[in-house]
Amino acid sequence: MALGEFELIRRFFAAAACARPGSGVTLGIGDDCALLAPPAGEQLAVSTDTLVEGVHFPRNAPPARLGQRALAVAASDLAAMGAAPLGFTLALTLPEVNANWLQDFAQGLDTMAQSCGLRLVGGDTTRGPLSLTLTVFGSVPVGQALTRAGARPGDLVCVGGTLGDAAGALPLVLGERSANEAVAGPLLSHYWTPPPQFTLGLALRGKATAALDISDGLLADCGHIATASGVAMRIEQSRLPLSDTLRAFLPAAAALEAALSGGDDYRLAFTLPAEHLAAVVSLEPGVRVIGQVLAGEGVCLVDEQGLDVTPGQRGYQHFRERP
């Protein structure tokens, strides 16, 4: 039996655990609008991400993993702002209705939603090439949102964990290479299910001077902080945290490139006065210092001798003209 739009929503999404009423959600799925209620004295943080098949994820991607990845990517923006999660909407464009695909996708989405503490509060479905648009909502106390503007000379440049695993996993995702489970498992997990760093984002409130999540590559995204803050950032190559699995899978030069410009890490990058470092690390031991904020402009990478070794390729850009 063919499924109509409303039956599709009811069967696969409205009945999911993540669609049940919860804190901060006054009215969810079933009406013309959802009603959200941030706590008193807090602002609503809102972010939208669109993922398109063949651009942001490979064709024939496993639907359960895709559901997890789609929400994790969007939710990471909330963590980067220091926002606590509230809810999300999903606009799903499908080339056809495939009940098995939808069941697996919805299960993956629900798994990530419950892990993040996000409630599905609405959305839309339509026919067309496969694409997913998710809008996430969070709350943050007035005046405590983490933005890209605010880094100051003397601040430390920090990241929330190892870099490059998702980019390193791409040959595995695309079926271009294989590896034993001990190596492939952690890399694929970071690509498909990158956990939004909500705990770190909340810990950075009132401490970090600027922050964002790394989606397009470390150097490119640090460049956004440098531009917004009107400062320079000096990254030390020797301090970049690379996982053992990435080092085992890729040659040293390729692993370094993945960490610097590969993108899709969804770790937080942030600037922090040194006096706050111990408190942040006590909550998130994976945090690493990788450089310093200086007066000036731009981002540079230096080797152990302090020489500028900044590569020309800094990260992923949509609509970039090809040579």
Say what the pLDDT of residue 32 is.
85
Say what the pLDDT of residue 15 is.
77
- β-pairing, 119-127 with 84-94? parallel
Enter the tokens of residue 69: 């990845």
Q: Which residues contact 223 (CB under 8 A, 6 or more apart)?
A: 233, 298, 299, 314, 315
Choose the weakest-confidence range: 22-36, 167-181, 234-248: 22-36
Burial code of 122-150, b = ≥16 C-beta within 10 A, e = fewer? bbebeeeebbbbbbbbbbbbeeebbbbeb
CA distance 196 to 142: 22
Residue 19 pLDDT grade (very low, low, confident, very high; cuts 50, 70, 90): confident
Which residue from 214, 88, 198, 81 is spatially nearest to 143, judged by alpha carbons?
A: 81
Choose the weakest-confidence range: 30-34, 59-63, 123-127, 138-142: 30-34
Which residue from 107, 162, 108, 156 is spatially nearest to 277, judged by alpha carbons?
A: 156
Q: How far apart are the first and last CA of the chain?
A: 50
Q: Which span out of 22-26, 130-134, 315-319 was modeled with the highest average pLDDT? A: 130-134
* Of residues 149 and 16, more confidently modeled: 149
pLDDT tens string 279-309: 999 999 999 999 999 999 999 999 999 999 9
Residues of the chain within CATH 3.90.650.10 domain(s) are: 156-302
Residues of the chain within CATH 3.30.1330.10 domain(s) are: 7-141
CA distance 257 to 249: 13
Q: CA geometry: angle at 84 spanning 157 and 286, to 5°?
A: 35
Question: What CATH class does 156-302 carry?
Answer: alpha beta
Report the percentage of the chain scoring pLDDT > 90.
82
Choose the weakest-confidence range: 31-45, 73-87, 140-154, 160-174: 31-45
pLDDT at 146 over 50: yes
CA distance 209 to 151: 5
What average pLDDT score do residues 149-157 get?
98
DSSP state of 222: H
User: Is residue 164 within 8 Å of 265, Cβ to Cβ?
Assistant: yes
pLDDT at 193 over 70: yes
pLDDT at 5 over 70: no
CA distance 131 to 224: 27
pLDDT tens string 227-283: 999 999 999 999 999 999 999 999 999 999 999 999 899 999 999 999 999 999 999
Distances in whole angstroms, Cα of residue 286 to Cα of each of 32, 160, 213, 297: 43, 6, 15, 28
Question: What CATH class does 7-141 carry?
Answer: alpha beta
Burial code of 52-64, b = ≥16 C-beta within 10 A, e = fewer? ebeebbeeebbbb
Say what the pLDDT of residue 312 is.
76
CA distance 159 to 240: 9
In terms of Cβ atoms closer than 10 Å to its own Cβ (0-12, 13-18, 19+), residue 170 is: middle
What average pLDDT score do residues 76-84 get?
98
